[in-house]
Amino acid sequence: MKKLIIASTSTVYGTGYLDYLLPTLQLHFKAVKTLTFIPYARPGGISYDDYTTIVKKAFSKIKIDVKGIHEFENTKEALSNAEAIFTGGGNTFELVNQLYKKDVLGVLKKALESGTPYLGTSAGSNICGVNMRNTNDMPIVYPPSFKTLGCIPFNINAHYLDPIADSKHMGETRETRIKEFHVFNETAVLGLREGSWLSVEGEKITLQGKHSARLFQQNEKPVELESGVVVCV
């Protein structure tokens, strides 16, 4: 049975890395001693080692050790045997590119569907959807495919932003971009605001956190989902 936390962000403004999620993660990973971290998204081009160090510091607060996937000789075996897995944020294009390059997307999907507890933030949440086409990231590399894990039956738009009243910015809003996506695609999109996350238990998907989320479906008006509701598409 799937057991996932799919979070919009790793850091809420004014707090430390993962601090806002730690009480939830302590329960989510309550039987876990060592977590396997996937640092492929490399925010700001950070090295795998430096990224893993940041994650180790955060999880030490709930007494969980962390080992980066790049530290294992056999990546596929590491994911198959992991007690728990965390994929951090950064650039979704590079994350997906590396998962395909190392031929581990299918292995990761199998692990999650078999019940390995998982945390994704930002890019690590984007890959839980049907595909990565609703990422906000620059296409700095060209992955072999935009198809991702499909652990949930819709896509995530992480860090979702509402239009700002009286703003003089003339660029597209997130809502405009998602509407453009739905001209050509049927896949539903959930705009997940900062500080919100999805809790996935088997096929049950529940919105958690302080904020509502915005659900977009083709040829329908967007719907606000309140925290605590089960997400159905």
Active site residue 196: no
CB-hemisphere CA count at 13 Å for 18? 23
Q: What is the pLDDT of residue 169?
A: 67
**pLDDT the model gives residue 163:** 78
Determine which one of 19, 80, 159, 182 is catalytic: 159
Q: State the pLDDT confidence band at 170, using cuts at 50, 70 and 90.
A: low
- Is residue 230 assigned to a domain? no
- Give the pLDDT band (50/70/90) at residue 172: confident
Report if residue 94 sits inside a domain.
Answer: yes
Using alpha carbons, list the distances in angstroms from residue 94 to 100, 113, 160, 169: 10, 23, 21, 29
Q: In the chain, pLDDT over 70 holds for what percent of residues? A: 98
Give one word for 195, left, alpha or beta, with left for phi > 0 and alpha for psi -120 to 50.
Answer: left
* 141 located within any domain: yes
pLDDT tens across 34-62, in order?
999 999 999 999 999 999 999 999 999 99
What lies within 8 Å, CB to CB, of 158 at 6+ separation is 8, 9, 89, 122, 123, 125, 126, 135, 136, 192
* C-alpha to C-alpha distances, 201 to 6, 50, 60, 76, 168, nearest whole angstrom: 11, 32, 25, 24, 42
**How confident is the model over 99-118, as pLDDT tens digits?**
999 999 999 999 999 999 99
Q: Which pLDDT value is given to residue 14?
A: 87
pLDDT of residue 168: 67
pLDDT at 164: 75
Residue-number span of the structural domain to which 13 is assigned? 3-225
**Residue 231 within any structural domain of the chain:** no
One of 10, 137, 196, 211 is an active-site residue; which one?
A: 137
Count the domains in the chain: 1
The CATH number covering residue 30 comes to: 3.40.50.880
Q: Which residues have CB under 8 Å from 37's CB, separation 6+? A: 51, 52, 55, 66, 67, 68, 69, 85, 86, 87, 88
* 81/229 Cα distance (integer angstroms): 33
- Across 80-95, average pLDDT: 98
Please indicate, yes or no, if residue 79 is contained in any of the structural domains. yes
Residue 137 known to be catalytic = yes
- Rounded to the nearest integer, the mean pLDDT of the chain is 96
Instruction: Specify the residue for token string 């078999």.
Output: 114
Q: Is 28 an active-site residue?
A: no
Asked, for residue 232, whether it belongs to a domain, the answer is: no
214 within a domain of the structure (yes/no): yes
| pLDDT for the residue 112 | 98
Q: Is residue 233 part of a domain?
A: no
Q: What is the mean pLDDT of residues 120-139?
A: 98
Q: For residues 197 and 212, what is the distance between their CA atoms, to the nearest angstrom? A: 10
Catalytic residue among 10, 122, 125, 196: 122
Asked whether the predicted pLDDT for residue 128 surpasses 90, the reply is: yes
pLDDT, one tens digit per residue, over 147-168 is: 999 999 999 999 999 877 777 6
Check pLDDT > 90 for residue 171: no
